[in-house]
Structure 1
């Protein structure tokens, strides 16, 4: 009788062990599939991030902040951020009553004002302007003087026309 109990216990424990082995193997397989899927997604995200970083570097290529040669022109001035200073000075031209004096068009809906500014280097600026409905772009030459005044000269401009 004792031998039969041990035989039944042995068979029962063998069945439990077999069940645990099969169950664990299935769990491991599912987890491996998940890991593989996540590794593929991670690779795709890394590629996407890399291409986004390259795109940002391309967009920043023409930028005063990333142009050490152009920034060298302002070493003798006590400016922390020359690009911000110049952009602020250009935005101050919006404060005049009526249209911005640098914009050679009369506003149709309201007054034309400068919205976005991209300072290319120590000489040139590209700016976007709008009156709320119509918009255009300006190509501006500027000179930052030793007394921290800034002279702006309009080099070229365009106004987009709406095709309704």
Structure 2
């Protein structure tokens, strides 16, 4: 009788060991698949990040902050961020009553005001203007003086046609 109990215990423990082995093998296989898929996803994300960085570098190519040759013009002046200073000075022209004096159009819905500004280098700015319904862009030449005054001169402009949306 003892032998049968030991035989049943041996068979029962063998079945439990076989179950744990099969279960562990399945778990290891599923974990490997998950690790492989995460590696692939990581590779895709790295490629996407690299592509985004390249696009960002392309977008920042024409900017004062990334143009060391243009920044040399501001070495003598005590300005922490010349592009921000010049943009602020340009936005001050919006404070006048009526249309912005640099925008060569009369506002149709309200007054034309400058919205977005991109300081391209030590001489040029491109800006977006709008009256709430109509919009356009202007190219401006600027000169930063020693007394930190800024003179703006309109180079070119365009007004977009109203869309039918």
Alignment partner, residue 49 of structure 1: 49
Over the aligned positions, Cα root-mean-square deviation in angstroms equals: 0.9
Name the CA distance, whole Å, in 2 between partners of 1:129 and 1:41.
Answer: 42
> Which secondary structure state, in structure 2, belongs to the residue aligned with residue 108 of structure 1?
coil
Name the CA distance, whole Å, in 2 between partners of 1:31 and 1:75.
Answer: 58
Name the CA distance, whole Å, in 1 between partners of 2:42 and 2:116.
Answer: 36
Name the CA distance, whole Å, in 2 between partners of 1:53 and 1:111.
Answer: 38
Q: CA deviation at 1:163?
A: 4.4
Alignment partner, residue 89 of structure 1: 89
TM-score (norm 1): 0.97
Name the CA distance, whole Å, in 2 between partners of 1:132 and 1:50.
Answer: 37
Name the CA distance, whole Å, in 1 between partners of 2:15 and 2:66.
Answer: 70
Name the CA distance, whole Å, in 2 between partners of 1:100 and 1:144.
Answer: 20
- Structure 2 unaligned blocks of 5 or more: none
- Kindly provide the CA deviation profile for residues 138-157 of structure 1, in whole angstroms up to 9, marking residues without a partner as x: 00000001100000000000
- Kindly provide the CA deviation profile for residues 43-69 of structure 1, in whole angstroms up to 9, marking residues without a partner as x: 111111111111001000000011111
> Which secondary structure state, in structure 2, belongs to the residue aligned with residue 153 of structure 1?
strand
> Which secondary structure state, in structure 2, belongs to the residue aligned with residue 157 of structure 1?
strand
- Structure 1 unaligned blocks of 5 or more: none
Name the CA distance, whole Å, in 2 between partners of 1:13 and 1:115.
Answer: 78
2:7 pairs with 1:7: yes
How many pairs were matched up? Answer: 164
> Which secondary structure state, in structure 2, belongs to the residue aligned with residue 98 of structure 1?
coil
Alignment partner, residue 112 of structure 1: 112
> Which secondary structure state, in structure 1, belongs to the residue aligned with residue 97 of structure 2?
coil
Alignment partner, residue 69 of structure 2: 69
Name the CA distance, whole Å, in 2 between partners of 1:45 and 1:134.
Answer: 39
> Which secondary structure state, in structure 2, belongs to the residue aligned with residue 32 of structure 1?
helix
> Which secondary structure state, in structure 1, belongs to the residue aligned with residue 10 of structure 2?
helix
Name the CA distance, whole Å, in 2 between partners of 1:19 and 1:80.
Answer: 70
